[in-house]
Amino acid sequence: MKDEWKDMYKKPQEPDLKHTGPLLFYTELVIDHFTNPRNVGEIENPDGEVVVGDPSCGDQMKVSIKICGNRIVDIKFKSYGCPGAIATSSMMTELAKGKTIKEALELTDDDVVIALGGIPERKKHCSLMGVTGLRGAIEDCFRKGARKRGKTDEKSVS
């Protein structure tokens, strides 16, 4: 009984011709990542960290990463937002974890949406936050690294 609300977000098998307003249909995977998000929290002493937001809808997200060698060994997020924002942030962490920096930087918004089996068109802007947060956390890591080495120029990562 406690999970009945999830049915509101599932696409009906047959169209409801009585409904006249816009509907949002989420895949089972989107609902799962929204109700059971992965990698939630903050990393103590992260190598990189960023807060990003979407002013158009008020969603906000914090991403922190831990890097060992050239690989993301841990990634966490905290998000305030709609089901799409939380689900895409969760999926982004799953896709990025274990990847090299180069591989992580190659992840796109479309990769996240495809991995979730799609999200409603008017919620696709939510996926931008996850990838933007990932890239921002990686950039922060390199800024911190440059400061530790006493350099001010940033080098691109391979």
Which one is catalytic: 68, 82, 126, 141? 126
Tell me if residue 57 is catalytic.
yes
Residues 69 and 86 sit within 8 Å (Cβ to Cβ):
no
95: amino acid identity, one letter = L
Tell me if residue 126 is catalytic.
yes
| Residues in contact with 146: Cβ distance below 8 Å, sequence separation at least 6, in sequence order | 152, 153, 154, 155
Which one is catalytic: 57, 68, 82, 141? 57
Residues 52 and 93 sit within 8 Å (Cβ to Cβ):
no
Determine the Cα–Cα distance for residues 48 and 104; give it in Å rounded to an integer: 14
Determine the Cα–Cα distance for residues 45 and 145; give it in Å rounded to an integer: 13
Tokens 């949002």 correspond to 24
Residues assigned a catalytic role: 57, 126
